[in-house]
Amino acid sequence: MTSLLTRTSDGLQLDPDAALLEALTSPTLSLKKDSFRRRDAELDPLLLAAAAASGPNVTRNHYAHDFFPGVGLPKAEGAWDWSKWDGERVGAINQPKKFVYTSKQGPRSLRTREGKENSGFDSDFARSLQSAPVNVPTGKRDRASSRSVAVPSPARPPQSDITTPIKVTCMARTRIPTPHGIAFLHLYHNNRDSKEHLAIVVDPAQFSDDDPSSSVPSIRSHSLDAVWSDSETEMDRLTRGAYLGRLSPTSQTASSPEYQKDLHTHTSGLVPPPLVRIHSECFTGETIGSMRCDCGEQLDEAIRLMSQPVMIPSNLPAEPPRRIPGRGVVVYMRQEGRGIGLLSKIRAYNLQDLGHDTVTANLMLGHGADERGYEVAIAILQDLGIGSSTGEGVRLLTNNPDKVRAMETEGLKIAERVPMIPRSWKKRQEDADVISISGSVERKVGATMVGGDAVHGEDLEKYLRTKVLRMGHMLQLHGV
Ligand X SMILES: Nc1nc2c(ncn2[C@@H]2O[C@H](COP(=O)(O)OP(=O)(O)OP(=O)(O)O)[C@@H](O)[C@H]2O)c(=O)[nH]1
Query: Catalytic residues, which ones?
Result: 370, 372
Interacting span for ligand X (CB under 6 A) from 119-127, 155-163, 242-250, 329-337? 329-337
Measured from the CB atom, the residue of 68 and 188 that comes closer to ligand X is 188
Measured from the CB atom, the residue of 102 and 409 that comes closer to ligand X is 409
Answer whether 325's CB lies under 8 Å from 203's CB: yes
Give least dist CB 256 to ligand X, A.
Answer: 36
Give least dist CB 394 to ligand X, A.
Answer: 13
The residue from 199, 348, 379, 454 that contacts ligand X (CB under 6 A) is 348
Give least dist CB 460 to ligand X, A.
Answer: 10
Interacting span for ligand X (CB under 6 A) from 267-275, 308-316, 392-400, 429-437? 392-400
Interacting span for ligand X (CB under 6 A) from 90-98, 221-229, 300-308, 398-406? 398-406
Give least dist CB 353 to ligand X, A.
Answer: 11
Q: Check residue 224 for interaction with ligand X (CB under 6 A).
A: no
CA distance readout (Å), 250 to 238, 240, 247: 13, 18, 8
How many Cβ atoms from other residues are within 10 Å of residue 287's Cβ?
A: 11
Q: Check residue 340 for interaction with ligand X (CB under 6 A).
A: yes
Q: Check residue 280 for interaction with ligand X (CB under 6 A).
A: yes
Answer whether 398's CB lies under 8 Å from 280's CB: no
Measured from the CB atom, the residue of 60 and 338 that comes closer to ligand X is 338
The residue from 60, 327, 338, 456 that contacts ligand X (CB under 6 A) is 338
Mark residues 282-321: x for contact with ligand X by CB under 6 A, - for none: x----------x-x--x-----------------------
The residue from 106, 181, 217, 337 that contacts ligand X (CB under 6 A) is 337
Measured from the CB atom, the residue of 216 and 276 that comes closer to ligand X is 276
Q: Check residue 399 for interaction with ligand X (CB under 6 A).
A: yes
Q: Check residue 420 for interaction with ligand X (CB under 6 A).
A: yes
Interacting span for ligand X (CB under 6 A) from 124-132, 133-141, 277-285, 376-384? 277-285
Give least dist CB 121 to ligand X, A.
Answer: 18
Q: Check residue 403 for interaction with ligand X (CB under 6 A).
A: yes
Give least dist CB 338 to ligand X, A.
Answer: 4
Q: Check residue 167 for interaction with ligand X (CB under 6 A).
A: no
How many chain residues bind ligand X (CB under 6 A)?
A: 22
Measured from the CB atom, the residue of 66 and 117 that comes closer to ligand X is 117
Answer whether 191's CB lies under 8 Å from 136's CB: no
Measured from the CB atom, the residue of 271 and 282 that comes closer to ligand X is 282
Q: Check residue 448 for interaction with ligand X (CB under 6 A).
A: no
Interacting span for ligand X (CB under 6 A) from 77-85, 105-113, 134-142, 333-341? 333-341
Calpha distance 394→414 (Å, rounded): 5
Measured from the CB atom, the residue of 145 and 476 that comes closer to ligand X is 476
Measured from the CB atom, the residue of 221 and 335 that comes closer to ligand X is 335
Q: 3-class secondary structure for the chain?
A: CCCCEEEECCEEEECHHHHHHHHHHCCCCCCCCCCCCCCCCCCCHHHHHHHHHCCCCCCHHHCCEECCCCCCCEEECCEECHHHCCCCCCCCCCCCCCCCCEECCCCHHHHHHCCCCCCCCCHHHHHHHHHCCCCCCCHHHHHHHCCCCCCCCCCCCCCCCCCCCCCEEEEEEEEEEECCEEEEEEEEEECCCCCCEEEEEECHHHCCCCCCCCCCCCCCCHHHHCCCCCCCCHHHHHHHCCEEEEEECCEEEECCHHHHHHCCCCCCCCCCCCEEEEEECCHHHHHCCCCCCCHHHHHHHHHHHHHCCEEECCCCCCCCCEEECCCEEEEEECCCCCCCCHHHHHHHHHHHHCCCCHHHHHHHCCCCCCCCCCHHHHHHHHHCCCCCCCCCCEEEECCCHHHHHHHHHCCCCEEEEECCCCHHHHHHHHHHHHHHHHCCCCCCCCCCCCCCCCCCCHHHHHHHHHHHHHHCCCCCCCCC
Q: Report the interface residues with ligand X, using CB under 6 A.
A: 280-282, 293, 295, 298, 335-338, 340, 345, 348, 358, 362, 398-400, 403, 420, 467, 473
